[in-house]
Amino acid sequence: MSVTSKNRSSSISEAVAPWSDVARLLRGGDAGTLIPVVIPKHRRRQGWLAPLWLGLLALLSGLMFTINGDDGALSFLAYASGILFLLAGALWWWRSSIVEIEQGTNGVLTRYGAVSRTLDPGRHYLWHPWSRVAFVVDVATEIPYSAPVMACPTRENVPLRSIEFFMKLRITDAVLFVRTIGAGNFDLVLSSAVQDAIRQRARQVQTERAYDLRGSDVADMQDLLNRQLDRYGVRITGCNIPDVQLPAQYQQHLATRERVAKESAAYEQEWGLTRKRRIDQLQMDIERAKKVRDARIVEVKASLNKAREQVAQLLEEQETNAQRVRFEIETRGRSGLIAAENEAKAQRRLAQAYRDNRAVLQYELALRRLEVGAELAGQAPQPVVVRTDGDGGADTSALATLLAAQLLPRTVALPAAERNGKPADGLGNAGG
């Protein structure tokens, strides 16, 4: 096979070589070509038949000499040469029948050109003259195979520069492999299958996520290839995508985006550090404020306890004062109560005495009433009638009116002066 890639493509082929080069070709390949199948050069010539025929001819010649009665040196020489030729032919036949199969390989045995069976590693003897090992197939080594796919389009139909696909495969059935396809044809089939699988996978990926194909899970591709190659007796044991190459312009675009993403990540990291520093500072401030608050709370609690002590002391003093005032009030109340009780007793005794002297008191009261009535009657005012009308023939002169005006106030003031115990001056003068 020849895959268009620069020094990274793999090629599988078969080679024709002598038995001495079989191991070298199977293990190391030839000029960068992987060779899992070697066709050994057939060395079982029919040359060993010549000594056998010569030996038989010599024996027949000796027999003829014996029949003719010649028992001399000629018959002995014929018998001796015939035996030697037969031994040489038999030895040549034994030596050419030995076949040694390398470890990790299987030999495909053919008889008359038809595949009969496979030979396991070790020494085998092919006694049949027309049996030979047609192919030596490596069935133990995992063959590394690299298949880059060029110009592989993505979902947006952007052709990728290349996608490199690496896998390891192993031949599981030597007879099926050499009889069905062969190494040369298998290289073409494998290349076509790998390219088809890679293009299907690339069609499912967006261009900007093409680098995600590196090291991605390709188990579905491996299963697909195994289903396709199982008919040829080949099994893929592992595969991956080691590298993806984008177009130069798009790669530059992704490099710019990656640079911007890195700058953004650096900015985010720097902002994260700044935010963390600020958060730490705020937490330190919060802790400091908590300590100040706790100290103030302690001070407030101390002040509160002190205020409570003072309030308790004041309450105790107020209670003592209230108790003292209560005692004083109770003492004064008891004293007042005793005085009231004594006064009530005195009043009761006095009332008893008044009830005993009721008749005397009524007599004295009646006498007092008479005295007061007599005194009031003696001090009662005297009415003065002054007639000023002219119908009765009285004096209506101006002199009479003047005298009445002077005597009237004195007459009214006289009872008041007598009540006070003093004689009225005007009245005395008037009487004189």
Residue 83 is predicted with a pLDDT of 75
**Span 405-428, average pLDDT:** 56
Question: Does 84 score more than 50 pLDDT?
Answer: yes
**Span 54-75, average pLDDT:** 69
Between 356 and 393, whose confidence is greater?
356
310, two tokens: 């003072």
Q: What's the Cα-to-Cα distance from 77 to each of 15, 70, 283, rounded to whole Å?
A: 48, 12, 119
pTM of the model: 0.48
Residue 293 is predicted with a pLDDT of 87
Q: Classify residue 169 by burial, with Cβ atoms within 10 Å: 0-12, 13-18, 19+.
A: buried
List the one residue out of 330, 57, 34 whose CA is nearest residue 171.
34
Question: Does 364 score more than 70 pLDDT?
Answer: yes
Label residue 426 by pLDDT band (50, 70, 90). very low
| Least confident piece of the model among 100-114, 187-201, 392-406 | 392-406
| Least confident piece of the model among 102-111, 146-155, 231-240, 397-406 | 397-406
Residue 2 is predicted with a pLDDT of 36
Report the C-alpha gap between 83 and 265 in whole angstroms.
94
Residue 354 is predicted with a pLDDT of 67
pLDDT tens, residue by residue, 95-148: 666 777 877 788 888 887 777 787 878 777 776 777 777 788 888 888 888 888
**Span 278-294, average pLDDT:** 89
